[in-house]
Amino acid sequence: MMFYREKILEIYKNPRHFESLATFNLEAEKENPFCGDRLKVRIKLKNGLIEKIGFTGEGCVLTIVGASMAGDLVLGQRVEKVATITLQDILRSLKLQKILPSREKCLTLGLTTLKEAYLQNKRAISRKEENESEFFSDNQGFPRR
Protein backbone atom coordinates (compact mmCIF):
# COMPACT_ATOMS: atom_id res chain seq x y z
CA MET A 1 0.00 0.00 0.00
CA MET A 2 2.89 2.35 0.71
CA PHE A 3 4.09 2.10 -2.90
CA TYR A 4 0.70 3.23 -4.22
CA ARG A 5 0.54 6.10 -1.75
CA GLU A 6 3.99 7.20 -2.94
CA LYS A 7 2.88 6.94 -6.58
CA ILE A 8 -0.18 9.09 -5.88
CA LEU A 9 1.93 11.71 -4.11
CA GLU A 10 4.44 11.72 -6.99
CA ILE A 11 1.66 12.37 -9.52
CA TYR A 12 0.29 15.13 -7.27
CA LYS A 13 3.69 16.81 -7.06
CA ASN A 14 4.21 16.51 -10.83
CA PRO A 15 0.72 16.48 -12.34
CA ARG A 16 0.29 15.79 -16.01
CA HIS A 17 -1.82 17.96 -18.30
CA PHE A 18 -1.88 20.89 -15.85
CA GLU A 19 -1.44 23.90 -18.08
CA SER A 20 -3.64 26.53 -19.64
CA LEU A 21 -4.05 25.92 -23.36
CA ALA A 22 -4.19 29.07 -25.48
CA THR A 23 -5.77 27.24 -28.43
CA PHE A 24 -8.52 24.70 -27.83
CA ASN A 25 -11.77 23.34 -29.26
CA LEU A 26 -13.61 22.28 -26.11
CA GLU A 27 -13.79 23.78 -22.64
CA ALA A 28 -15.68 23.15 -19.40
CA GLU A 29 -15.40 24.03 -15.74
CA LYS A 30 -16.75 22.08 -12.77
CA GLU A 31 -16.64 22.38 -9.01
CA ASN A 32 -17.06 19.84 -6.26
CA PRO A 33 -19.66 21.56 -4.04
CA PHE A 34 -18.72 19.42 -1.04
CA CYS A 35 -15.11 20.60 -0.77
CA GLY A 36 -14.71 23.54 -3.16
CA ASP A 37 -12.23 21.86 -5.52
CA ARG A 38 -12.53 23.43 -8.96
CA LEU A 39 -11.14 22.44 -12.34
CA LYS A 40 -11.29 23.88 -15.83
CA VAL A 41 -10.33 21.75 -18.80
CA ARG A 42 -9.49 22.77 -22.34
CA ILE A 43 -9.18 20.16 -25.06
CA LYS A 44 -7.44 20.63 -28.38
CA LEU A 45 -8.68 18.34 -31.14
CA LYS A 46 -7.03 17.44 -34.41
CA ASN A 47 -8.89 15.27 -36.92
CA GLY A 48 -11.27 14.07 -34.19
CA LEU A 49 -8.43 13.00 -31.90
CA ILE A 50 -7.55 14.55 -28.56
CA GLU A 51 -4.21 16.17 -29.32
CA LYS A 52 -3.75 18.05 -26.05
CA ILE A 53 -5.49 18.48 -22.71
CA GLY A 54 -4.97 21.33 -20.27
CA PHE A 55 -6.37 21.44 -16.75
CA THR A 56 -6.25 24.49 -14.49
CA GLY A 57 -7.70 24.99 -11.04
CA GLU A 58 -7.12 23.78 -7.56
CA GLY A 59 -7.98 20.75 -5.55
CA CYS A 60 -6.93 18.09 -3.11
CA VAL A 61 -4.42 15.35 -3.91
CA LEU A 62 -7.07 13.01 -5.34
CA THR A 63 -8.61 15.72 -7.53
CA ILE A 64 -5.26 16.53 -9.13
CA VAL A 65 -4.24 12.87 -9.47
CA GLY A 66 -7.63 11.90 -10.91
CA ALA A 67 -7.47 14.68 -13.50
CA SER A 68 -3.94 13.62 -14.48
CA MET A 69 -5.02 10.01 -14.93
CA ALA A 70 -8.21 10.91 -16.82
CA GLY A 71 -6.10 12.99 -19.19
CA ASP A 72 -3.69 10.09 -19.70
CA LEU A 73 -6.58 7.75 -20.51
CA VAL A 74 -8.00 9.90 -23.32
CA LEU A 75 -4.98 11.68 -24.79
CA GLY A 76 -4.48 10.59 -28.39
CA GLN A 77 -7.90 8.92 -28.48
CA ARG A 78 -11.02 9.83 -30.45
CA VAL A 79 -12.99 12.49 -28.55
CA GLU A 80 -15.90 10.03 -28.14
CA LYS A 81 -13.65 7.93 -25.85
CA VAL A 82 -14.24 10.52 -23.10
CA ALA A 83 -17.81 9.27 -22.69
CA THR A 84 -16.66 5.72 -21.96
CA ILE A 85 -14.07 6.35 -19.23
CA THR A 86 -15.20 5.41 -15.70
CA LEU A 87 -14.03 5.61 -12.10
CA GLN A 88 -12.92 1.99 -12.46
CA ASP A 89 -10.61 2.94 -15.34
CA ILE A 90 -8.94 5.58 -13.18
CA LEU A 91 -8.61 3.16 -10.26
CA ARG A 92 -7.05 0.54 -12.57
CA SER A 93 -4.58 3.10 -13.93
CA LEU A 94 -3.51 3.79 -10.33
CA LYS A 95 -3.46 0.05 -9.55
CA LEU A 96 -6.11 0.54 -6.87
CA GLN A 97 -9.15 -1.68 -6.38
CA LYS A 98 -11.36 0.76 -4.52
CA ILE A 99 -11.55 4.13 -2.85
CA LEU A 100 -13.72 5.43 -0.04
CA PRO A 101 -17.11 6.50 -1.44
CA SER A 102 -16.64 9.93 0.15
CA ARG A 103 -13.51 10.46 -2.03
CA GLU A 104 -14.95 9.28 -5.37
CA LYS A 105 -16.07 12.79 -6.32
CA CYS A 106 -12.55 14.07 -5.74
CA LEU A 107 -10.95 11.37 -7.88
CA THR A 108 -13.48 11.84 -10.70
CA LEU A 109 -13.74 15.66 -10.84
CA GLY A 110 -11.29 15.80 -13.74
CA LEU A 111 -13.18 13.05 -15.55
CA THR A 112 -16.58 14.71 -15.06
CA THR A 113 -15.10 17.99 -16.31
CA LEU A 114 -13.77 16.23 -19.43
CA LYS A 115 -17.18 14.65 -19.97
CA GLU A 116 -18.91 18.03 -19.57
CA ALA A 117 -16.68 19.53 -22.28
CA TYR A 118 -17.48 16.59 -24.56
CA LEU A 119 -21.24 16.82 -23.89
CA GLN A 120 -21.31 20.59 -24.48
CA ASN A 121 -19.68 19.99 -27.85
CA LYS A 122 -22.09 17.16 -28.66
CA ARG A 123 -25.11 19.35 -27.77
CA ALA A 124 -23.76 22.21 -29.90
CA ILE A 125 -23.37 19.87 -32.88
CA SER A 126 -26.92 18.53 -32.36
CA ARG A 127 -28.37 22.06 -32.24
CA LYS A 128 -26.49 22.98 -35.41
CA GLU A 129 -27.78 19.88 -37.19
CA GLU A 130 -31.34 20.60 -36.01
CA ASN A 131 -31.14 24.18 -37.29
CA GLU A 132 -29.79 23.04 -40.65
CA SER A 133 -32.51 20.38 -41.01
CA GLU A 134 -35.30 22.95 -40.51
CA PHE A 135 -34.78 24.08 -44.08
CA PHE A 136 -35.95 21.84 -46.86
CA SER A 137 -37.04 22.29 -50.43
CA ASP A 138 -40.52 21.91 -51.88
CA ASN A 139 -41.10 20.41 -55.30
CA GLN A 140 -40.46 23.72 -57.03
CA GLY A 141 -36.95 24.07 -55.61
CA PHE A 142 -37.76 26.97 -53.28
CA PRO A 143 -36.51 26.63 -49.72
CA ARG A 144 -39.28 26.79 -47.13
CA ARG A 145 -39.61 26.37 -43.40
Say what the pLDDT of residue 136 is: 47
Overall pTM > 0.95:
no
Measure the CA–CA gap between 17 and 113, rounded to whole angstroms: 13
Measure the CA–CA gap between 107 and 6, rounded to whole angstroms: 16
CATH number for the domain running over 2-129:
3.90.1010.10
Mean pLDDT by 10 residues, the chain (145 residues): 76 95 95 93 94 96 96 96 96 91 94 95 70 52 48
**Domain limits of the chain?**
2-129
Radius of gyration from C-alpha coordinates of the chain = 19
